[in-house]
Structure 1
Amino acid sequence: MRRRTLLQSALAVVATLPIPRMRAWAQGLGFPGLREETLQTLAATVLPESLGRARTNAVATEFAEWVAGYREGAELSPGYGSPRVRYTGPSPAATYDRQLQALASGPLAHAELSARRRALADELRRAGIEDLTSVPRGAHVVADLMSFWFTSSTAHDLAYEAAIGKDRCRTIANSAARPAPRAPR
């Protein structure tokens, strides 16, 4: 038995325990579990083709790591001028798992990329998803994967063909400098 399979099996057992916080924690760590290939296919379908399959697989892995690191009840930044402190809700891991299972036998079962994209667009319409959010919110794995990547520093650098480094600190001394052109991949 591979170490990874053993770990996934152990987390699956913990996820069934009647301790809510432990169950949510274990579900997050086990994501995407047996649905890794489905998550990779989803990423290859909804992200720009120009990234290539290796990079879309890497984004799927980064998204899975984000889900594994998600902590229910974590304090969120209130934002400038807002006195109200907000907290994260329950882990979306279980919801994402169910959605990936449904997508595998539905929209992602199509062989052609264009057919998969049309079916996923219909899926988002049925779920009432109209816009991408600034951060994943747990509403739907398709929209959240897209939000995760399209709001990332890498996506901004690619879109503007410059090393902007969104959300990375720059010093005052170089804040007025034009970003360097993005290095070719």
Structure 2
Amino acid sequence: MNLTRRVFVRWSALTSAALAVARRSVGAQAKPAAQQPGALKWLDVPSLLPIASVVLPAELGAGRVERAAIEFSRWIANYREGEELLHPYGSEQISTTGPSPATKWAEQVRALHESAVAKDPQRKPFANQTLRDRTAIVADALASVQFAARVPSPIAAPHVALALLAHFLDSPDATNLAYNKEINAKQCRPLADSSKEPVTLRKALNGGRA
């Protein structure tokens, strides 16, 4: 059979597809599970919500605070070490995600719970204590943590309380609230809307009514 240009192109396409599938298969086998068994025991929403209500602004309201805790819990549960990251524009350097802090953060949540029980005469768990008492417990825990004045990236936060705050501040919801506009950062807008200025958040929430 003559190796015509058409046959060569077809073979090249099939070979590239086969290699891509093989790479994905090998990568899938080599990558560990999202988190180690038991690492998420203290990183569920009921455990995180009492901390979120301490570190997030009260002006958000209970609904947004709960949503922030849900999104944080989902994010860390799905975090995988060694995943390829998008490289900067114009750069050929490829970087990957670092080790998961889930185990460390889970230990910190457990420590908050144990500290709350130990300090309370009625031995009430952390979640059942008042906002004032929970705030004091979190403040005591953060007093021994070294961190810069600037909010770190969520994954680099040295304490779970800071991670919750950083994760929310990095969210589209936080950007919308800061500017009072429906900006929806990190989300693709339809091309037809690219020239339109984002609407006021209050109007957006009320279906366009002021």
Identify the TM-score tier after normalising by the shorter chain: 0.7 to 0.9
Question: Quick one: which amino acid aligns to residue 127 of structure 1?
Answer: V
Of 58, 61, 72, the residue aligned with 2:70 is: 61
The range that moved more, 173-182 or 146-155, is: 173-182
Match of 2:168?
149
Match of 1:180?
199
Q: Does structure 1 residue 120 correspond to structure 2 residue 160?
A: no
Percent of residue pairs bearing the same amino acid type: 34
Which structure 2 residue ranges, 5 or more long, are not aligned?
Answer: 1-30, 117-124
Whether contact under 8 Å (1:32, 1:39) holds in the other structure is no
1:1-56 Cα distance to aligned partner (Å, 9 max, x none): xxxxxxxxxxxxxxxxxxx935x63447x624586433110011111212222332
Distance in 1 of aligned mates of 2:89 and 2:130: 45
1:99-150 Cα distance to aligned partner (Å, 9 max, x none): 1011223479494535544553453352212222344325321111111111
Whether contact under 8 Å (2:172, 2:183) holds in the other structure is yes
Of 155, 158, 162, the residue aligned with 2:181 is: 162
Whether contact under 8 Å (1:46, 1:146) holds in the other structure is yes
Question: Quick one: which amino acid aligns to residue 94 of structure 1?
Answer: T
Distance in 1 of aligned mates of 2:170 and 2:138: 20
Q: How many residues align?
A: 164
SS state at 2:155 partner? coil
The structure-2 alpha-carbon separation of the partners of 1:98 and 1:36, relative to structure 1 and needing over 3 Å to count, comes to same
Which structure 1 residue ranges, 5 or more long, are not aligned?
Answer: 1-19
SS state at 1:76 partner? coil
Q: Does structure 1 residue 73 correspond to structure 2 residue 77?
A: no
Match of 1:43?
52
Q: Does structure 1 residue 91 correspond to structure 2 residue 100?
A: yes
SS state at 1:95 partner? helix
Match of 1:21?
32
Distance in 2 of aligned mates of 1:115 and 1:77: 42
In our comparison, the structure showing a higher alpha carbon Rg is: 2
Distance in 1 of aligned mates of 2:142 and 2:86: 28
SS state at 2:147 partner? coil
SS state at 1:25 partner? coil
Distance in 2 of aligned mates of 1:153 and 1:36: 20
Distance in 2 of aligned mates of 1:82 and 1:115: 49
The structure-2 alpha-carbon separation of the partners of 1:156 and 1:86, relative to structure 1 and needing over 3 Å to count, comes to same
Cα offset, 1:159, TM superposition? 1.7
1:57-100 Cα distance to aligned partner (Å, 9 max, x none): 22212111111111111011222344322111222211111010
Whether contact under 8 Å (1:45, 1:113) holds in the other structure is yes
For normalisation by structure 1, the TM-score amounts to 0.72
RMSD (CA atoms): 3.0
Whether contact under 8 Å (2:182, 2:200) holds in the other structure is yes
Cα offset, 1:181, TM superposition? 1.4
Whether contact under 8 Å (2:72, 2:167) holds in the other structure is yes
